[in-house]
Amino acid sequence: IGPRFKAGFEHRGLLLQENDFAVRIRFGGTNAVAGPGTVQIPADTKGAKANFLIGNDSRHWQRDLPLFGALRYLGVWPGVELTYKAEEKGLKAEYLVLPQASVGSIQLLFNHDVQIDNDGTLRIKGRSGEFVEDKPFIYQMIRGDRVALMGGFRKCVNGAIGFWVSTYDHNQPLVIDPSI
């Protein structure tokens, strides 16, 4: 994503690193099915390629790998799609909760201390730094209009971070849109 900010994507979560500070985020929750059956779909092709020429053995080099601006996860939680997008400031997560799916199934487990500020900001703190995730913008498209909903991060009983949302139409998709 940039020279100082890196993201590594796995089936069961991701690793974020900025300078010396790294945060591992695991997908959790009783309904999480993240694992080998999880589908990762690259999106937003950039038309550029990368080469990883690591080590002295050219058989292990990787060449002409396409670059993408987004990665979609399908099958992490029932009825929820998760997309990570590269942005100028960093990384953006977008959760699409499909009709009849449960917002409560989304749970993120962090390997560092996490706090939710009074303004709804999520802070992941470590000895050598912190990541900040803005309060999510939560909305539904109703008859062509984007309708903002009340909601934000919540701390789950097991220490994971999830989301709460005010009353909404469970027959329509719901978008939860924070920025990291």
pTM of the model: 0.82
Task: Round the average pLDDT of the chain to a whole number and report it.
Answer: 85
For CA atoms 68, 70, 71, 72, the dihedral sign is negative
What is the pLDDT, as a whole number, of residue 48?
A: 75
Average pLDDT, integer, range 41-61: 77
Q: How far apart are CA 35 and CA 28, in angstroms?
A: 11
Say which residue, 37 or 29, is predicted with more confidence.
Answer: 29
Instruction: Provide the pLDDT for residue 19.
Output: 83
% pLDDT > 90, the chain: 44
Q: What is the per-residue pLDDT across 86-143, written as a single tens digit (0 to 9) for each?
A: 777 778 889 999 999 999 999 999 999 999 999 999 999 988 888 888 899 999 999 9
Longest dimension (CA), the chain: 58
Is residue 175 predicted with pLDDT exceeding 70? yes
Look at 25-29, 31-35, 65-69 and tell me which has the smallest mean pLDDT. Answer: 31-35
Query: E strands within 62-173?
Result: 62-77, 80-86, 91-97, 107-110, 113-116, 122-126, 129-133, 137-142, 145-149, 151-155, 161-165
